[in-house]
Amino acid sequence: MKQISFIHAADLHLDSPMVGLKHLPANILSRVRESTFAALERLSAAAIEHNVDFVIIAGDLYDGEDRSLRAQSRFRNEMQKLAQKDIPVFVIHGNHDHLNGSWVHLDMPANVHIFGSDVEWKVLHTKRGETVHLYGFSYIQRHILDKKVDDYQKQDSADFHIGILHGNEGGGTDHDNYAPFTIKDLYEKQFDYWALGHIHKRKILSEHPPIIYPGNLQGRNKKETGIKGCYHVTLNEFETIKAFIETSDVVWEEVSFDASPANSFQDILQLCRLAIERLRKPRIGTLLTLNLQNVQLDDIQDKRTLDGELLELLMDDENDEESFVWLVDLTVQNSQPLDRNHLIGEADFYAELFAAIDDYQNLDQAIAPLYEHQVGRKYLSGLTQSEQKELLDKAEKLLIGLLYQ
């Protein structure tokens, strides 16, 4: 039975600057800056461990068009490890590391095969005798808006046909619409596997044939949450077996929880510590955004301690942990005590505020732009008295909530 085994990875973004981080301890900052390289090392180790026939990297190998010497050198070191095991690597460059950039060039080992700016195909003969055709292209410039998938043409005389494409599916707006394609476009090519890149979230667009975004190897900001990695794929005439391989050395997480059961600062501290321990992963660092909602503390000293010392207490000793959980952002949202009598008792300001709301006469003027809008006025009818009151009540709650944050 004809069968091949390979690693499919994409969007390595080596030497990414990791935006959105401030005031990290030196050892954690170093770990974060090294994380894209640590993920690459885990990729090459997995390829050797599984003794794959080849590796595919589907674009954005480097984070920028200048391709730092540090990034090139670290990549070459890992490729040399694969060369020693006779594992070829097939690379396309994407919008971030396009071919028209300016950089000092480091030669890669002979096992690294890079696709040019036009769609081309490369032939691989595996150690067991299977013939594989791999099809792809590298971006010549950052913005490739053409439908390059039309240039992929299946060639005869191969056991397996694999398309490699760095592009955007279906015109989605989450990512730039580079080298756009539809799933139907890929079906029509009758390839055995499509190795995609560009989208940093793991996605399987189709099972038959497999059309897959593996996501990026290492999350780079708080929008790229969770474990990242690549796929180990075993492909034969009858089935495709996909195994996800975790490569993240540092993960980003965001957690929100209801703190209303907590009656004291100590309760809040304990809830936060439990949340942190649930997120701790063996040998992996975590960068955490923690949102505390509905905090209700009556004691003034507890409130001051919450604002001034909670973060410091939670971060004690984390910088010494290999499996650290470091808070990069902590937000505290107080519950909204919307009872007017309670608020008026707190401060004279609220009595004046509620009086101004009750005497407010300019609602029609405030919402007039909606009715003056050329399109909006076609669909809007006038507000009833009850609807006006409901709108004012919602505005009051929103205002009080903002004042209490």
Shared domain for 113 and 139, answered yes or no, is: yes
How is residue 215 written in tokens?
């996501």
Shared domain for 269 and 162, answered yes or no, is: no
What is the tens place of the pLDDT at every residue in 220-232? 998 999 999 999 9
379: pLDDT strictly greater than 50: no
**Which of 231, 246, 261 lies at the terminal end of a domain, its last residue?**
246
Shared domain for 323 and 358, answered yes or no, is: no
Shared domain for 183 and 242, answered yes or no, is: yes
Shared domain for 43 and 151, answered yes or no, is: yes
How is residue 277 written in tokens?
């321990």
Give the number of other CB atoms < 10 A from CB of residue 31. 19
- Among 82-96, 158-172, 237-251, 335-349, the minimum mean pLDDT is found in 335-349
| Burial letters 302-335, b for 16+ CB under 10 A, else e | beebbeeebeeebbeebeeeeebbbbbeeebebe
Shared domain for 150 and 170, answered yes or no, is: yes
Peptide bond into 209 cis (omega under 30): yes
The string of DSSP letters for 352-381 reads: HHHHHHHT---HHHHHHHHHHSTTGGGT--
**Which of 220, 246, 272 lies at the terminal end of a domain, its last residue?**
246
What is the tens place of the pLDDT at every residue in 288-308? 999 998 888 877 788 777 877
**Which of 209, 230, 246 lies at the terminal end of a domain, its last residue?**
246
Residue 171 has a pLDDT of 59
CA of 154: how far to CAs of 151, 180, 188, in Å?
Answer: 10, 19, 10
Q: Residue with structure tokens 């608020």?
A: 343
372: pLDDT strictly greater than 70: no
Shared domain for 291 and 192, answered yes or no, is: no
Give the number of other CB atoms < 10 A from CB of residue 400. 17
- What is the tally of structural domains in the chain? 3
366: pLDDT strictly greater than 80: no
Residue 175 has a pLDDT of 58
380: pLDDT strictly greater than 70: no
Which is more confidently placed, 362 or 198?
Answer: 198
Shared domain for 48 and 121, answered yes or no, is: yes
Shared domain for 38 and 179, answered yes or no, is: yes
Shared domain for 300 and 240, answered yes or no, is: no
Residue 115 has a pLDDT of 97
The CATH code of the domain that includes 84 is: 3.60.21.10
State the burial class of residue 387 (Cβ atoms within 10 Å of its Cβ: 0-12, 13-18, 19+).
exposed
Maximum average pLDDT range among 167-176, 346-355, 380-389 = 346-355
Helix (H, G, I), strand (E, B), or coil: what is residue 135? strand
Shared domain for 265 and 218, answered yes or no, is: no
The CATH code of the domain that includes 295 is: 3.40.50
**What integer is the mean pLDDT of 317-326?**
91
Q: Residue with structure tokens 């009051």?
A: 396
Shared domain for 144 and 17, answered yes or no, is: yes
Of 108, 114, 113, nearest to 81 (Cα)? 108
The string of DSSP letters for 390-403 reads: HHHHHHHHHHHHHH
CA of 178: how far to CAs of 96, 123, 149, 187, in Å?
Answer: 11, 26, 11, 19
Which is more confidently placed, 159 or 348?
Answer: 159
pTM listed for this prediction: 0.81
Amino acid code (one letter) for 26: A
- Among 98-112, 192-206, 261-275, 339-353, the minimum mean pLDDT is found in 339-353
The pLDDT mean for the chain works out to 88
Give me the domain span that covers residue 379.
342-404
145: phi then psi, degrees, rounded to nearest 5: -105, -5
- The terminus-to-terminus CA distance of the chain in angstroms comes to 65
- Among 28-42, 349-363, 389-403, the minimum mean pLDDT is found in 389-403
**What integer is the mean pLDDT of 320-346?**
79
